[in-house]
Amino acid sequence: MRRVIWGVAVGVAAFALAAGAVMAGEQRTRERIRSRREGAPAAKMRERTTATKEARQGAEAPRADERRRDDAPWVDRRQAVQARRIEQGVRNGSLTAEELAKLRAQQEAIEQLEDAYKGDGKLTLQERRDLHMKLNYASRCIFAEKHDAEGTQMPVWRFGGNVYAKEAFLKQLEDESLTREQARQIIRDFRTALRLKHRLASENLGEDERARLQAEYNEILNRYFEIREATATREGK
């Protein structure tokens, strides 16, 4: 009888321990699920912030299993933007058939170069820089071809419907020997001119201040553009 009672007691104790272990396991599972749910928004926010920062730098770090297939998504994004700019030039008549063929050949060459660089499963820093420079040059060529006089010459709408790029400036953009510092200077001048234009649109300027800003704006504008009678309708850049 004692052996029977002892066996029952042992069985009850074992069952209690097993039940406790199961309950504890279920509790830990619920806590892990809750933690993941609560941490998901923060994780997604960190992921978005990191992706935005890396995209601005012109490079992203994909997962290892995607590295070969998509090591530089920024290349595809920039090419998509450039393709839209080219199609705008087709629609508004600013690109001739010869110019269109040239620009599309550039895009195809960049795509082929990207594929060749990715052949070993990754992009080196130098390869990334090379692709970045090729895309920058293609972007300059698109602007130059759309704003030259060979097709329907388009004004530079950022500065006005009667502002047209000078031929010498467009040739400079298409020159592959244009240095990084020269390109940066052009960008600085454009930003300064846009900032001056915005300030000149303000009514809260004294006469002397307005005259000074206008002279500075005109000096930069005349460096790259000329003023003509506006004849184009707005579409594309």
* Amino acid, single-letter form, for residue 3: R
Q: Is the pLDDT of residue 165 over 50?
A: yes
The string of pLDDT tens digits covering residues 62-87 is 343 334 444 678 899 999 999 999 99
The string of pLDDT tens digits covering residues 208-224 is 999 999 999 999 999 99
Higher pLDDT, 42 or 97: 97
Residues 6+ apart with CB under 8 A from 127: 117
Confidence of residue 235 (pLDDT cuts 50, 70, 90): low
Give the angle subtended at the CA of 59 by the CAs of 55 and 64, to the nearest 5°: 115
Residues in a beta bridge with 107: none
The string of pLDDT tens digits covering residues 193-205 is 999 999 999 878 8
Q: Which two tokens stand for residue 100?
A: 């269109």
Q: Which two tokens stand for residue 197?
A: 């234009």
Q: Is the pLDDT of residue 95 over 50?
A: yes
Residue 44: predicted pLDDT = 39
Residue 50: predicted pLDDT = 36
Residues 214, 200 contacting (CB under 8 angstroms): yes
Mean pLDDT, residues 111-119: 93
Q: Residue 30 burial by CB count (10 A; 0-12/13-18/19+): exposed, middle or buried?
A: exposed
- Domain spans in the chain, listed from the N-terminal domain onward: 1-33, 71-227
**Within 10 Å of residue 122's Cβ, how many Cβ atoms?**
12
Residue 232: predicted pLDDT = 54
Residue 121: predicted pLDDT = 82
DSSP string computed for 86-132 = HHHHHHHT-S-HHHHHHHHHHHHHHHHHHHHHGGGSS--HHHHHHHH
Q: What is the 3-state secondary structure (H, E, C) of 21-85?
A: HHHHHHHHHHHHHHHHHHHHHHHHHHHHHHHHHHHHCCCCCCCHHHCCCCCCHHHHHHHHHHHHH
* Amino acid, single-letter form, for residue 157: W
Q: What is the 3-state secondary structure (H, E, C) of 168-200?
A: HHHHHHHCCCCCHHHHHHHHHHHHHHHHHHHHH
- pTM recorded for the entire structure: 0.66
Question: What is the rounded average pLDDT for all residues in the chain?
Answer: 77
